[in-house]
Amino acid sequence: MHIPVLKKEVLEILNPKENENFVDCTLGHMGHTLEILERIKPSGRVLGIEWDKKVYENLKPRDRLILVNGSYVNLKEIIEKNDFKPVNGILFDLGLSSWHLDESGRGFSFRKDEPLDMRYDTAQELTAEHILNNYEAEEIEKILKEYGEERLAKIIARRIVKERPIKTTAELCRLIPRKTKPQRTFQALRIAVNDELNNICKGLEQAVDILEPRGRIAVISFHSLEDRIVKNFFRNSDKLQILTKKPIGPSEEELKDNYRSHSAKIRGAIKK
């Protein structure tokens, strides 16, 4: 079961009040949204965006919840299409869900032997397998270095090219030296497949434009690349007042209940 991270902190930053409207740009399994819906009764609404069609199809409709299968890259278009205004708060939870790791079968986790897919949107063509079996060694090295901050990127890239074709996560793991973490390679490939970092920038830009004055934005990130983008975006925006001088991590209690929350950080801001 997916446990929403930093739920208490999300509610503190967004501060949802009765009859306000919110957008959850990364709906997932609705953990944050259900709490927000409760606080914005009786007529406040949430527009929830879920990119993964499989996850979307399993969501249960709720009163005052508008469900959209799409990406926050198209946030403005989604808002206009659903005539969802005013928007008092927006949430981004940039982490992949426990379902993706444990049940999707798409190769997100190095702990399971699965096909090297790693797509959130299975309608798109680019997969991790395609990258590994078709890109030049220099391109793979760049992906591992930039998106995974992997110091052994050159060694891993050369091994990949030498051992092609690579079809499964187990085959890939065998090529990663024991003195480094396979998470870095998997993170890098996932980011490349889904163009995650560029998407974050596009989503944040639209979110600020959509927000009402005094509207709030909260962003949960799970690694330094995401957090750096959010930090710099907040700092450089003349439309935002930062609410979190430093990113807030999980409490000791949450760490005990949900080990996957250990790398989560949240930043918040309010529109001037």
2 falls within a domain:
no
Mean pLDDT, residues 216-231: 97
Cα(173)–Cα(28) distance, integer angstroms: 28
180 falls within a domain:
yes
Question: Do 83 and 214 belong to one domain?
Answer: yes
167 falls within a domain:
yes
Question: Do 221 and 146 belong to one domain?
Answer: no
Cα(53)–Cα(149) distance, integer angstroms: 30
pLDDT tens for 159-197 read 999 999 999 999 999 999 999 999 999 999 999 999 999
Which domain, by its residues, includes 200?
A: 7-99+196-271
Structure confidence at residue 3 (pLDDT): 77
Mean pLDDT, residues 221-244: 97
Q: Which residues pair with 266 in a beta bridge?
A: 220, 248
Is it the case that residue 2 has pLDDT exceeding 70?
no
Structure confidence at residue 96 (pLDDT): 84
pLDDT band at 216 (very low <50, low <70, confident <90, very high): very high
CATH of the domain at 44: 3.40.50.150
Structure confidence at residue 97 (pLDDT): 84
SS (H, E, C) 181-197: CHHHHHHHHHHHHHCHH
Q: Of the candidates 176, 194, 212, which is a domain's last residue? A: 194
Q: Of the candidates 194, 214, 247, which is a domain's last residue? A: 194
Is it the case that residue 74 has pLDDT exceeding 80?
yes
Is it the case that residue 1 has pLDDT exceeding 80?
no
Query: Phi and psi (nearest 5°) for 177?
Result: -55, 145
pLDDT tens for 41-72 read 999 999 999 999 999 999 999 999 999 999 99
Task: Please give the C-alpha separations between residue 155 and each of 46, 134, 147, in angstroms, as whole numbers.
Answer: 47, 17, 16
Question: Do 214 and 201 belong to one domain?
Answer: yes
Residues 234, 239, 243, 245: is their CA dihedral positive or negative?
positive
Structure confidence at residue 225 (pLDDT): 97
Q: Of the candidates 140, 167, 194, which is a domain's last residue? A: 194
Query: Phi and psi (nearest 5°) for 219?
Result: -130, 125
